[in-house]
Structure 1
């Protein structure tokens, strides 16, 4: 039985569409004090989050492989990624693998070891092996959207109507 049961789906917040899903993914990562670039998925079709149990799922059109440049690591994300989240921890993770030497290793838990601003994050496998990396390797700078002043918009509209 998977994490995402009918009961979980029924009470979860669900979002569709790539842009909204990317935004919601970053929001829930921030909510649980995890770095915003941890799940760099593309063409996301659905994101669900059940706050009661902490269960999260993300569905994307196709699996992707992402290289985290700061640590030179390849990570593969399946078409469906599921996990149970809490502050500073992602556990029961499925759908994520990291390349170590010549093999792909399944990841099942991520634990923040220190505060996000200056800390480290520990990646664990089902076999008990783990690796620790700086949190900074998984943070994507936020891009502020420029505010549009109402006066400028009115002036532009007046010019095009004339």
Structure 2
């Protein structure tokens, strides 16, 4: 367990049942008004949230790559993903990288600044950012089943 998680664990809600963990990850995204496919994690073994600090963490059995088909972007999710959350924002994000041409770029901040324009913005620790349609990050599984 990372030191950051350990420092926020006291007074946090922690879930370890895989079914409940998946449900809680989706509830979190809905609560902060983010697309439900933004964290397509599998085999989640722990979800924690400290309501006082806004800190959340999700642990999965192994790291995962996910391709967002609508925008052709490959994203990598580490075994541990952490962030401070608030309405339409995940800041100080760890454990998420996006493939840009030939290199993996760390994503540190995800925001939807204007819900009317339906754009989601991804920023790096260096301040570079890119925007995409928020619809590209909606759950894709439903479409694949059809």
TM-score over 0.5 for the pair: yes
SS in 2 for 1:122: strand
1: distance between equivalents of 2:27 and 2:57? 14
* Unpaired stretches in structure 2, ≥5 consecutive residues: none
Query: Which runs of structure 1 show a deviation greater than 6 angstroms over 4 or more consecutive aligned residues?
Result: none
- Larger Rg over CA atoms: 1
State the TM-score, normalized to the length of structure 1: 0.82
The CA deviation at 1:141 is 6.9
Q: How many residues align?
A: 141
Against the structure 1 CA distance between its residues 122 and 2, is the aligned structure 2 distance closer, same or farther, given a 3 Å change threshold? farther
Task: Tell me if structure 2 keeps the 8 A contact 1:3–1:83.
Answer: no
2: distance between equivalents of 1:13 and 1:129? 33
Task: Map residues 1-162 of structure 1 onto 2, 5 A cutoff.
Answer: 2-6=3-7, 8-115=8-115, 119-140=118-139
2: distance between equivalents of 1:124 and 1:72? 18
Against the structure 1 CA distance between its residues 141 and 72, is the aligned structure 2 distance closer, same or farther, given a 3 Å change threshold? closer
When the two chains are superposed, the root-mean-square deviation of aligned CA atoms in Å is 1.8
SS in 2 for 1:71: coil
The CA deviation at 1:73 is 0.3
Task: Tell me if structure 2 keeps the 8 A contact 1:18–1:42.
Answer: no
Against the structure 1 CA distance between its residues 31 and 70, is the aligned structure 2 distance closer, same or farther, given a 3 Å change threshold? same
Cα deviation digits, residues 102-138 of structure 1 (max 9, x gap): 00000000010221x7510000001111110001011
Larger helix fraction of residues: 1
* Unpaired stretches in structure 1, ≥5 consecutive residues: 144-162
